[in-house]
Copies of this chain bind each other. A is one copy, B any other.
């Protein structure tokens, strides 16, 4: 039986690209775009890789499904959808005479496929609690390097494009800019699954209007109205879906659950957790732990991170409802059973006095120490701007060859869209309303 065991190891631990496969064509049935055909062998192999398959288990919108029950779509679907749009964009540009080689086309497609590979489950919440100070972009870069080694350098060009180190700047812009195919896919997809049909954007039309001037992506003037619409839809999706107040309330509850669990574990308390999650609860992880390749439980931290998914969090938090620490039990129960905190939003900061009163109320009601009040109270602000002119601006190409930034090109005043809007909010358990 030894042979077999080695076989298991070779497939699943080292994760060699499967050399047994013969047919590498794949058609994916996507509810948003219909049939998506994967034509490149490299892209096919990347999709098959466990790093990428993991994205099937990570929801694109994290806890938004708590408000929009249809929003269970995953980062896997989004990445595949972005591949589809990238191919459209490439072929539109090629038809207009923009030179894109076969290798560049494959590389920019690989770059968009992998652009979000470093996302953990509920990454926003994670980054504010147990993997503090480490961004998913850094992890994406590390995972891409790792894959590149495994694929013998076939991702070199993709990585250069991803990092904006490749001369044809427009390729990077297709992957990451204010008008990248990432956004074109996610706005449309998030609208579709959340049921917020107003967020639907004309991705087809925007792509048809793409062009390149002096190495940079531009939009032909006929597309101005579509761009305006795109910016307004993006703004709408932010406030109405991504930063929906109940979603915020849930996300901050999750942050508090994880903070409390980590605090207890650091204090020596033993909690049920999946092994991968445990690593992040037991250790104060910094980016250096990732970079140094230090092993935890015999595996590199990067590999452990690359195994984390939504199920680790929910399987663990569900148990925490029954923990003896009443705070952790309370917070976890609230999240699992959707007893979310009341949230109030305001354009002005909440007065110190009102916050102080609320803290006192909490202290009395729950009988907790002052230092633990923060588990029952979130007081923070969010900020968002639909569009930021500057280095990474949207440029319009006029029929006479002139290129202008969108704000100069349109006759409505978009400048207000680029001002970031700040909103203050405060969350606390609903039962405090009553007293």
Which residues in A have some Cβ–Cβ distance to B below 8 Å?
A: 1-5, 7-8, 11-12, 15, 18, 20, 27-32, 34-35, 48, 50, 53, 56-57, 59, 65-70, 72-74, 76-77, 80, 192-198, 200-202, 204-205, 208, 225-226, 228-229, 232-233, 235-236, 239-240, 272, 274-276, 307, 309-316, 318-319, 321, 326, 329-330, 333, 336-339, 347, 365-368, 386, 411-413, 415-417, 419, 421, 430-431, 433-434
Contacts and interface: CB of A to CB of B under 8 A. Distances in A.
A237 B403 CA distance: 24
A205 B198 contact: yes
A72 B69 contact: no
A315 B235 CA distance: 36
B28 A69 contact: yes
A12 to B, nearest CB: 4
Contacts of A321: 12
Contacts of A272: 274-275
A232 to B, nearest CB: 5
A33 to B, nearest CB: 9
6 contacts: A1-B367, A4-B330, A34-B195, A197-B204, A274-B318, A412-B417
Contacts of A416: 411-413
Contacts of A20: 430-431, 433-434
A431 B11 CA distance: 11
Contact of A80 (B69, B329, B417): B69
* Number of copies of this protein chain within its complex: 4
A27 B77 contact: no
B29 A196 contact: yes
Contacts of A434: 20
Given A319-B274, A412-B416, A8 B311 contact: no
Nearest to A15: B337
A195 B232 contact: no
Contact of A8 (B15, B56, B202, B333): B333
A269 to B, nearest CB: 16
The 4 A-B pairs at the shortest CB distance, nearest first, are namely A315-B315, A12-B333, A413-B416, A198-B202
Contact of A235 (B50, B205, B412): B412
Nearest to A347: B411
Given A1-B367, A30-B69, A310-B311, A18 B318 contact: no
A236 B68 CA distance: 28
Question: A12, A31, A235, A321: which has the most chain B beta carbons within 10 Å?
Answer: A31
B314 A57 contact: yes
A53 B367 contact: no
A309 B77 CA distance: 22
Contact of A198 (B195, B197, B201, B366): B201
A183 to B, nearest CB: 15
Contacts of A18: 339
Contacts of A197: 200, 202, 204
Contacts of A201: 198
Contact of A70 (B1, B29, B326): B29
B274 A53 contact: no
